[in-house]
Structure formats: structure tokens, C-alpha cells
Amino acid sequence: MKKPSELRTLTIEELKQEEVNLRKELFNLNFQKVTGEIENPMMIRQVRKDIARVLTIMTEKTKSRIN
């Protein structure tokens, strides 16, 4: 998990890549949950919050470009 201050230093392209990586991780965690192999189910919640954090910062950056 990266802090928001660390994410704000990334470019939009790097943020998009971070989002892709987090979505892959979420898919894998959900797959582990279905097969009963997941060690820590709370990781699913954390990854979903990380995705939301990345999307929020991407929105902030795109809005600041427009203005």
C-alpha cells in the first residue's frame, strides 16, 4: 500500500499502471477466496480502497490539468 502523498508524485500513466496492477491483485485475491486458499480476507478490502485512492488521485490530476 502506497500513501496518497507517494501516489501524487506519480504521473497519470504510472497511476494507470498502478491501477492495472491492483486490479490484477484483486482478481487473484477473489480467486483465492472462492477456492478457499485466502490467508487474509481483509486484504480484499484494502486492495479495493487502494484502487479507489489511485482513481481519486487520477481524477485530481486530470482536473488540475483542465483548469
What digits encode the pLDDT tens for the residues 18-66? 999 999 999 999 999 999 999 999 999 999 999 999 999 999 999 888 7
Mean pLDDT on 3-7: 89
Cell numbers linked to 17: 499502471
pTM, 2 dp: 0.90
Q: What is residue 1's predicted lDDT score, i.e. its pLDDT?
A: 74
pLDDT score of 67: 64
pLDDT at 64: 84
Per-residue pLDDT at 10? 92
Task: Quote helix, strand, coil % in the chain, to nearest 5.
Answer: 80, 0, 20
Report how far residue 22's alpha carbon sits from residue 19's, in angstroms, rounded to the nearest whole number. Answer: 5
- The CB-based long-range contact list for 17-20 (8 Å cut-off, 24+ gap) reads 18/54, 19/51, 19/54, 19/55, 19/58
